[in-house]
Amino acid sequence: MMGRAGLFGLAAVCVALWGAAAIAAESGDIDVGEKIFKKNCKSCHQVGANAKNRVGPQLNGLFGRQAGSVEGFRYSKSLIRAGVNGLEWHADSLSAYIEDPRVFASGTRMSFRGLKDAGERQDVLAYLRTFSDDPSNIPEADPTAEGTDHAVDPEILALEGDPEYGEYLSSECTTCHQTSGSNDGIPSITLWPEDAFVTAMHAYKDKKREHPVMQMIAGRLNNEEIAALAAYFKNLEE
């Protein structure tokens, strides 16, 4: 029989690997996004076949990538530091960055003033998603995307988890997942929004998302344990 700490460690690993399965992400207009990209981004960034670093890094495989990690590109110290501290590019972080790069990352070398219109940002991200390793598998391939496919009782979402208890439950997780948030072949699980973590776990617990292992693991967790894990992973870098 697997010990309780080992069970919760496995739960966290599986959340990282399958936590966003069947998540319904908001989707923008790819064609509109391509036009916006060509107008605002193409002078500095390449994307698609044979894309290379220019003034800015190439943007293939952007989603789920650690900030400041494209080989051969000279990043600002602020983005390198952010990546080491756990920043990954996902829909929410990318949207915030391209809205106002200098506000998002003080010291960034990106001179673009930003896209203020949320709809335009969504369209650009929809276009960039098509250049991910497996765009048909997004947002499943984007483990920190916020789950919106499963309703959770507001009282459950409102539970205040104990991060110290969460740390105890997840002790085996950190033997594989780096507390810095670095991704060296093992998905990062740092900085998950608590509501997204809780929603994902309860979707498996209620068998609304399909994955036998995750359904089994989530089914053994009570509400307080899920909340504790969510609270710990949310601030893991600290």
Instruction: Output the six-digit token pair for 14.
Output: 């599986």
| pLDDT over 50 at 200, yes or no | yes
For tokens 């929603």, the residue is: 199
What does the pLDDT average to over 72-84? Answer: 88
Instruction: Output the six-digit token pair for 166.
Output: 């969460």
Domain boundaries, the chain: 4-25+143-234, 30-137
CATH 1.10.760.10 fits 4-25+143-234, yes or no: yes
Residues 6+ apart with CB under 8 A from 211: 14, 18, 21, 204
Q: What is the pLDDT of residues 132-185, one digit of tens each?
A: 765 554 544 444 334 444 578 888 889 999 999 988 887 756 665 566 655 554
The CATH number for 30-137, chosen from 3.40.50.170, 1.10.760.10, 1.10.3720.10, 1.25.40.10, is: 1.10.760.10
Global pTM exceeds 0.75: no
Q: Alpha-carbon Rg of the chain, whole angstroms?
A: 18
How far is residue 24's CA from residue 199's CA, in Å, rounded to a whole number?
Answer: 13
pLDDT of residue 35: 95
Q: What is the pLDDT of residues 184-193, one digit of tens each?
A: 544 556 676 7
Instruction: Output the six-digit token pair for 190.
Output: 């740092």
How far is residue 91's CA from residue 122's CA, in Å, rounded to a whole number?
Answer: 8
What does the pLDDT average to over 102-121? Answer: 85
